[in-house]
Structure 1
Amino acid sequence: MLDIRIYYEDTDAGGVVYHANYLKYMERGRTEALRSLGFEQRQLKQDEDMVFALTRTDLHYKRPALLDDLLTVKSELLLAKGAKMVFKQRIYRGDMLLVDADITLACISTTGRPKRIPQAILARLEQE
């Protein structure tokens, strides 16, 4: 879980959070979810020559977030197999669901080639 406060810079001319910003919040949520399992993206890049590339997003915007809202990003890993990870991510304001998303990532090397997720990492992810 990750809490995010909405600032003026996050909003559009209509006074609501600009739609693309939700992807930023979800990126932060995934990063913190991995960090909570002991994986830092900088270290994965250095030690495993592994980074994640977004390959698919399916977002359902249910309600807008507004200036000064405190949002919570919840991230759940649904699948980690081969060179692919799938997350279910939801953004809430209190108990109210604002955005529901399915996010697919490819695991790639720093040269851009697909790279299988190392078995040690898969084992740790499967424990959670």
Structure 2
Amino acid sequence: MPFPVHKFKVRVYYEDTDAGGIVYYANYLKFLERARTEWLRSFGIEQHSLLEQSVGFVVKRVEMDNIAAARFDDLLQVNTQIIELKRASMLFQQQITNSNNLSLVSAKIRVACVDLQKMKPIAIPAFIVGEISSVI
């Protein structure tokens, strides 16, 4: 059974755009990051509490296709779904669409769980795996 899709809305601000009024490509990565943070929060998991335990998620790999441009003041939706859950990493499929449901960005992002003191991979904490597994 597939993991459910988490939906997160984000408004394009002037600071997100380039001189032509379209979203600068690197800012899509920020929108994707915010959506993954809110995805975690939807499980009651706050990253600051993970940091206190020296646990963090770091981006290991990004595959991103820019399909169409977003513009200043657009309201976007970021859809986030896990497509692979491993012992120490997760692979996310994320898509950014505009208010007309036009696909703007498609990305696959692998994040690894690490011990922030040692900067070494560790198993995703059991309570996180349990929360994620409870929705499938």
- The unaligned stretches of length 5 or more in structure 1 are none
Letter matched to residue 131 of structure 2: R
Spell out, residue by residue over 1:73-127, the C-alpha distance to the aligned partner (whole angstroms, 9 max, x if none).
1111122211111111111102111101100001001121111112232122122
DSSP-derived class of the 1:14 partner: coil
Instruction: Give 1:1-128 correspondences, 5 Å limit.
Output: 1-47=7-53, 49-94=54-99, 95-111=101-117, 112-128=119-135
User: Where do 4+ consecutive residues of structure 1 move more than 3 Å?
Assistant: none
Spell out, residue by residue over 1:44-76, the C-alpha distance to the aligned partner (whole angstroms, 9 max, x if none).
2224x2101101000111100001100011111
Using structure 1 for the length normalisation, give the TM-score: 0.93
Using structure 2 for the length normalisation, give the TM-score: 0.88
Letter matched to residue 19 of structure 1: Y
Over the matched positions of the two proteins, sequence identity in percent amounts to 42
Tell me the CA shift for residue 35 of structure 1. 0.4
